[in-house]
Amino acid sequence: MTRFVLRALIAALGLWLATEWVDGLGVDGPATLLLAALLLGIVNAIVRPLAILLTLPLTLVTLGLFLLVVNAGMLGLVALLLPGMTISGFWSAFWSALLVSVVSWIGNALFKPGTAPR
């Protein structure tokens, strides 16, 4: 459970950076930001595997680059489900998803299990 909360906080950091750096992504406040991060974690756990499976041929043809589009779609789904979050278009979702993915990758690398000081 602690790991899920840590990953949600890292995703919230990525979403906050995306709201600051990417035009077209808006979040009403800190509570909405945390809810968006939690909802993104749930969507990535439930919907994303199905989306990856359904788009597998296209993902293989593009050598995995289509996964960036899938990530943008998951962020768009979160914005659709959460009233306080807005995305103005595909490119806003694309760059925001890319930024959230990079921040999550770095955060998970820093806080992976077994690397915490004792």
Tens digits of residue pLDDT in 70-116: 999 999 999 999 999 999 999 999 999 999 999 999 998 888 766 55
Higher pLDDT, 118 or 60: 60
Mean pLDDT value across residues 21-42: 93
Is 0.85 topped by the overall pTM? Answer: yes
Q: Determine the pLDDT at residue 118.
A: 53
Mean pLDDT value across residues 5-33: 92
| Residues 6+ positions from 72 with CB-CB distance below 8 Å | 90, 93, 94, 96, 97
Q: How many CB atoms lie within 10 A of CB 47?
A: 15
Q: How many CB atoms lie within 10 A of CB 73?
A: 19
Where are the chain's structural domains? 2-110
Percent of the chain scored above 70 by pLDDT? 95
Checking if the pLDDT of 55 tops 60, the result is yes
What phi and psi values does residue 86 have, to the nearest 5 degrees?
-130, 145
Checking if the pLDDT of 117 tops 70, the result is no
Q: Determine the pLDDT at residue 115.
A: 57
